């Protein structure tokens, strides 16, 4: 499943950030991700995978917030920027197909919250988490 590898990727990114920021790992309470409308991610499937794969790790019980980034394009002909509600790629103003995608393809971790009052988990213990 596509969403499972994305969930694993989210875990990896947050873990790396925790390591850089604190040198240790705290339980994660919440992760916010930006998912572009153009990406083929199914939010419900991603939530499911996040919860499943997060069991017995620092991500157990963490909330996943999915922020959908709209599909925004720039028309190279009439120079208009616009948001497309459907992925039909033509300019709504001049019907041109000469478009540049400005946003809507991204997939990244925006912010996350940790429980700093909890005991941190050491690098050794993390090896199998």
The contact set with Zn ion (CB under 5 A) reads: 75, 77-78, 91, 93-94, 96
- The DSSP string of 53-92 is HTTTSTTTT-EEEEEEEPEEEEETTT--EEEESS---S-T
Please identify, using beta-carbon distances, which residue of 62 and 75 lies nearer to Zn ion: 75
24 to 74, 105, 108, 119, 121: CA distances (angstroms): 43, 32, 22, 10, 6
Least spacing, CB of residue 99 vs Zn ion, in Å: 8
Least spacing, CB of residue 95 vs Zn ion, in Å: 7
Please identify, using beta-carbon distances, which residue of 44 and 83 lies nearer to Zn ion: 83
Least spacing, CB of residue 84 vs Zn ion, in Å: 12
Least spacing, CB of residue 106 vs Zn ion, in Å: 23
Locate 45 and state its tokens: 């499937």
Alpha-carbon gap, residue 111 to 44, rounded angstroms? 20
Please identify, using beta-carbon distances, which residue of 17 and 93 lies nearer to Zn ion: 93
């Amino acid at each position: 499943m596509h969403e499972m590898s994305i969930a694993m990727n989210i875990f990896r990114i947050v873990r790396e950030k925790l390591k850089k920021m604190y040198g240790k790992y705290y339980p994660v309470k919440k992760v916010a991700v930006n998912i572009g409308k153009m990406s083929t991610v199914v939010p419900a499937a991603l939530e499911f995978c996040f919860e499943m794969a997060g069991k017995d790790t620092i991500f157990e019980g963490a909330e996943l917030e999915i922020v959908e980034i709209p599909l925004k394009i720039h028309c190279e002909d009439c120079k208009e920027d616009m948001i497309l509600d459907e992925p039909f790629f033509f300019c709504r103003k001049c019907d041109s197909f000469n478009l540049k995608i400005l946003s809507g393809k991204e997939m990244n971790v925006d912010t996350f919250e940790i429980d700093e009052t909890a005991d941190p988990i050491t690098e050794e213990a993390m090896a199998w988490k």
